[in-house]
Amino acid sequence: MKKIALALLAVLAVFPCLAQEKKQMEAYVIGFYNLENLFDTIDDPDRNDEQFLPGGDYGWSALKYESKLSKLAYAISRMPRNLAILGVAEAENIGVLEDLVLQDEIADRSFKPILVEGNDARGIDVGLIYNPRYFIPTNVTSTRIRTEGDESFRTRDQLCVTGLLAGEEISIVVLHWPSRGGGEKRSAPRRRDAALTTKAICDSLYALNPQAKIVVMGDLNDDPVDDSVVKHLGAKNKKEETQPGQLYNPCYTLYKKGIGSLGYQDEWNLFDQVMVSHALIDESIGGLHYWKSEIFNRSFLKQQEGRYKGYPLRTHSSGVWTNGYSDHFPSLIWVVREVKGDK
């Protein structure tokens, strides 16, 4: 009898696991990559591209341009196959993104580019490439930043692309906030204004749909702990503190662990951040939700020796062509959803 009782207890213990239907999940990757001065070799009178011409400071040439494209394409090819959307910064025009997606390393993914030219003094813009197998854009807008008391200042516009990711509406906001040129404190008001612009874009999306699923990504030129991110954009560092109409910033945890996306003067910064709206962390809403994030800092992207060992292997260092990838590591997030029924 004792053996029978033990057997029954074992069956009862296992039965709930057998009865519960195993969930099947599908995942999509969304990321951001600062491409570090992806310029072509054509002189554009409307762009400040003189440094990146054959006779310019960097001695830019067709050979260097093609090598740069191949390097970036290889980096993207090493990202997960389910990469659906990749926001980018420092692209001169739509043409360089069109050249990028045609590179042999990623041609089989059939990426499509989006870029709206802005008014940046350096002649660079944000954009994105997307895999049409997963994502279908339905609306594209570009917003110019107005800096208080400095109307002549020219910086990158902010791109918002709304579309269907695996059939579900999602909005992607791509940013490249003003640099720290002139000093971190002196330039902080410009990033404050950029953050307020980003918040206004998100608020307009929430006005249309209070449960809007939004991914905000970019090179913010500030860390997850800085006022522009925490105070002015209002990004929260913990899921449980994030309310509807707010953003959750998973990069805060990475930053606190000492993980960065670029190195400068022997310190790491995490400027390249990807944040998500409350609807992407509230699983009760259903559909796509945030799973995890990482800085894509694979060894092939790193300087292997010298003073800057471990830093991103950049295209130029102190004006010398180093034939690298970028001075930033990409930042990625995974969003997942349950697969119901036959797919």
Collapsing DSSP to helix, strand or coil, 278 comes out as: helix
- pTM exceeds cut of 0.75: yes
Residue 312: DSSP 8-state: B
Per-residue pLDDT at 266? 81
110 Rama class: left (phi>0) / alpha (psi -120 to 50) / beta = left
Q: Is a pLDDT exceeding 50 seen at residue 295?
A: yes
Q: Which of 242, 307, 245, 295 is nearest to 270 (CA)?
A: 295
Q: Is a pLDDT exceeding 80 seen at residue 113?
A: yes
Which of 25-39, 139-153, 198-212 is the least confident region? Answer: 139-153
Q: Is a pLDDT exceeding 70 seen at residue 7?
A: no
Across the range 255-279, mean pLDDT stands at: 95
Across the range 129-135, mean pLDDT stands at: 98
Q: Is a pLDDT exceeding 90 seen at residue 268?
A: yes
Q: What percent of the chain has pLDDT over 70?
A: 92
Calculate the CA dihedral of residues 313, 317, 320, 322 and round it to 10 degrees.
Answer: 0
Q: Measured between alpha carbons, how far is 78 from 93 in angstroms, rounded to an integer?
A: 24
Q: Measured between alpha carbons, how far is 120 from 288 in angstroms, rounded to an integer?
A: 34
Which amino acid is it at 238? K
Q: Measured between alpha carbons, how far is 219 from 179 in angstroms, rounded to an integer?
A: 9
Q: Is a pLDDT exceeding 60 seen at residue 100?
A: yes
Higher pLDDT, 4 or 291: 291
Band (pLDDT 50/70/90 cuts) for residue 264 is: confident
